[in-house]
Amino acid sequence: LHTDRKHHHQHYLHLYYWVKLLSLSFLVVPHFSLPGGYEEYSSSRAAGMNGNGPTKLVDPLEDPVPGVGTYEDFNTIDWVREKSKDRDRHREITNKSRQSTVALLHSVSDAFSGWLLMLLVGLMSGALAGGIDIAAHWLTDMKGGVCLIGFWFNHEHCCWTSNETTFQERDRCPQWQSWAELITGTSEGAFAYIVNYLMYIFWALLFSFLAVTLVRAFAPYACGSGIPEIKTILSGFIIRGYLGKWTLIIKTITLVLAVSSGLSLGKEGPLVHVACCCANILCHLFTKYRKNEAKRREVLSAAAAVGVSVAFGAPIGGVLFSLEEVSYYFPLKTLWRSFFAALVAAFTLRSINPFGNSRLVLFYVEFHAPWHLVELAPFILLGIFGGLWGALFIRANIAWCRRRKSTRLGHYPVIEVLVVAALTAVLAFPNSYTRMSGAELISELFNDCSLLDSSQLCGYKQVCSDRPAGKGLYTALWQLALALVFKMLITVITFGMKVPSGLFIPSMLAYYNHDWFIFKGWCSPGADCITPGLYAMVGAAACLGGVTRMTVSLVVIMFELTGGLEYIVPLMAATMTSKWVADAFGREGIYEAHIRLNGYPFLEPKEEFEHSSLTVDVMRPRRSDPALAVLTQEGMTVGEVEALVESTHYSGFPVVVSKESQRLVGFALRRDLLISIDNARKRQEGIVSASQVVFTEHAPSQAPDAPPPLRLRGIMDLSPFTVTDHTPMDITVDIFRKLGLRQCLVTHNGRLLGIITKKDILKHMAQIANRDPDSILFN
Per the CB < 8 A criterion, the answer to whether 128 and 274 are in contact is yes
Contacts of 558 (CB under 8 A, 6+ apart): 317, 537, 540, 541, 544, 564, 571
Nearer Cβ to ligand ADP (492/777):
777
Q: Can you tell me the distance from the alpha carbon of 712 to that of 728, in angstroms, rounded to the nearest whole number? A: 34
Nearer Cβ to ligand ADP (224/652):
652
Q: Residues 396-435: x/- map of binding to ligand ADP (CB under 6 A)?
A: ----------------------------------------
State the nearest-atom distance from the C-beta of 48 to ligand ADP, in Å: 15
Nearer Cβ to ligand ADP (467/596):
596
Residue 321 CA to chain centroid, in angstroms?
10
Q: Is 251 in the site for ligand ADP (CB under 6 A)?
A: no
Q: For residue 350, what are the CA distances in angstroms to 136, 256, 674?
A: 17, 19, 51
Nearer Cβ to ligand ADP (251/671):
671
Residues 750-769 that bind ligand ADP (CB under 6 A): 755, 757, 759-760
| One residue of 218, 474, 585, 650 binding ligand ADP per CB under 6 A | 650
Nearer Cβ to ligand ADP (238/362):
238
Residues 331-390 that bind ligand ADP (CB under 6 A): none
Per the CB < 8 A criterion, the answer to whether 538 and 382 are in contact is yes
State the nearest-atom distance from the C-beta of 676 to ligand ADP, in Å: 17
Q: Is 287 in the site for ligand ADP (CB under 6 A)?
A: no
Question: Residue 636 in 3-state DSSP?
Answer: strand
Nearer Cβ to ligand ADP (243/746):
746
| H/E element, 710 | strand 710-711
Question: Residue 373 in 3-state DSSP?
Answer: helix
| One residue of 470, 605, 621, 686 binding ligand ADP per CB under 6 A | 621
| One residue of 83, 620, 681, 711 binding ligand ADP per CB under 6 A | 620
Instruction: Give the range of 437-445, 620-628, 678-686, 733-741 binding ligand ADP by CB under 6 A.
Output: 620-628
Nearer Cβ to ligand ADP (417/744):
744
State the nearest-atom distance from the C-beta of 626 to ligand ADP, in Å: 7
Q: Can you tell me the distance from the alpha carbon of 654 to that of 620, in angstroms, rounded to the nearest whole number? A: 13
Q: For residue 252, what are the CA distances in angstroms to 78, 249, 345, 594?
A: 32, 5, 16, 22
| H/E element, 317 | helix 315-321
Q: Is 55 in the site for ligand ADP (CB under 6 A)?
A: no
CB burial of 395-407 (b: ≥16 within 10 Å; e: otherwise) equals ebbbebbeebbee
Q: What are phi and psi of 692, to 5 degrees?
A: -80, 145
Q: Is 86 in the site for ligand ADP (CB under 6 A)?
A: no
Type of residue numbered 564: G
| H/E element, 654 | strand 652-656
Nearer Cβ to ligand ADP (218/650):
650
Q: Is 71 in the site for ligand ADP (CB under 6 A)?
A: no
Type of residue numbered 343: L
The partner residues of 5 in beta bridges, in order of sequence, read: none
Instruction: Give the range of 437-445, 503-511, 651-659, 713-721 binding ligand ADP by CB under 6 A.
Output: 651-659
State the nearest-atom distance from the C-beta of 755 to ligand ADP, in Å: 5
Q: Can you tell me the distance from the alpha carbon of 230 to that of 255, in angstroms, rounded to the nearest whole number? A: 17
Nearer Cβ to ligand ADP (392/753):
753
Per the CB < 8 A criterion, the answer to whether 744 and 738 are in contact is no
Residues 109-148 that bind ligand ADP (CB under 6 A): none
Per the CB < 8 A criterion, the answer to whether 716 and 695 are in contact is yes
Nearer Cβ to ligand ADP (317/666):
666
| One residue of 303, 628, 694, 733 binding ligand ADP per CB under 6 A | 628
Burial of 85: CB neighbours in 10 Å, binned 0-12, 13-18, 19+: middle
Nearer Cβ to ligand ADP (495/653):
653
**DSSP one-letter code for 323:** I
Per the CB < 8 A criterion, the answer to whether 655 and 713 are in contact is no
Q: Is 629 in the site for ligand ADP (CB under 6 A)?
A: yes
Q: Is 79 in the site for ligand ADP (CB under 6 A)?
A: no
Per the CB < 8 A criterion, the answer to whether 552 and 320 are in contact is yes
Type of residue numbered 285: L
Does the CA dihedral 735-740-743-745 come out positive or negative? negative
Type of residue numbered 332: L
| One residue of 25, 33, 76, 553 binding ligand ADP per CB under 6 A | 76
State the nearest-atom distance from the C-beta of 71 to ligand ADP, in Å: 11
Nearer Cβ to ligand ADP (104/629):
629
Strands of the 751-757 sheet, one edge to the other: 722-724, 743-748, 751-757
Q: Is 78 in the site for ligand ADP (CB under 6 A)?
A: no
State the nearest-atom distance from the C-beta of 664 to ligand ADP, in Å: 12
Nearer Cβ to ligand ADP (2/649):
649
State the nearest-atom distance from the C-beta of 627 to ligand ADP, in Å: 7
DSSP letter string, 93-143 = HHHHHTT-HHHHHHHHHHHHHHHHHHHHHHHHHHHHHHHHHHHHHHHHHHT
Q: Is 779 in the site for ligand ADP (CB under 6 A)?
A: yes
Q: Is 722 in the site for ligand ADP (CB under 6 A)?
A: no
State the nearest-atom distance from the C-beta of 744 to ligand ADP, in Å: 10
Size of the site for ligand ADP (CB under 6 A): 15
| Binding stretches for ligand ADP (CB under 6 A) | 76, 620-621, 628-629, 649-653, 755, 757, 759-760, 779
